[in-house]
Amino acid sequence: VGAMTGKGPKEGDDWREPAAQAIFTRTFSSADYFRLIWQRTDLAVANGASDETWTWGPTPLTKVFQERYDDSPGDKRNVQYFDKSRMEINNPAGDTDSIWYVTNGLLVVEMVEGWYQTGDDTFDKSPDPAEVNIAGDPTGADGV
């Protein structure tokens, strides 16, 4: 990320995207790299300077927090959820200049297929599928 932007985040940054475009009012955590990725891909959309669609969404839906990931230090990785995807830092001690320092989660695939990734090559297939219609009448018996 640093190589792409020429600089990393600064300690003490308190960033919010433009209020005119914001649906949510949560802020990104200070000194994280998720903000830089969001700015590179979605800031122009938020400012109305691009007709592109959102890559992540207008704002984060969560603060940065940790989830189980067996191949990360302490078996935890840093994640942040957005409307359209999840950003992940699997190795906080990794090369911050690498384009792979922040990765894009498999959120949609995990939701559709009913599993989630718990390590580089490990998956948890135990969640029961949600018993809700994903199309049609949300209360109807013949929904999809």
Tell me if 20 is assigned to some domain: yes
- Lookup: tokens for 62: 């969560």
How many domains in the chain?
1
Domain that residue 70 falls in = 2-124
Tell me if 67 is assigned to some domain: yes
Q: Three-class SS of residue 67?
A: strand
Tell me if 142 is assigned to some domain: no
Tell me if 141 is assigned to some domain: no
Least confidently predicted of 17-21, 30-34, 59-63, 76-80: 17-21
Report the pLDDT averaged over residues 9-31: 47
Is 127 a residue whose pLDDT tops 70?
no
Task: Single out the residue of 86, 93, 95 nearest to residue 67, CA to CA.
Answer: 86
Is 2 a residue whose pLDDT tops 60?
no
Backbone φ and ψ for 49, nearest 5 degrees, come out as -90, 0
Q: Which helix or strand (DSSP H or E) is residue 2 part of?
A: helix 2-5
Neighbours of 24 (CB within 10 A): 15
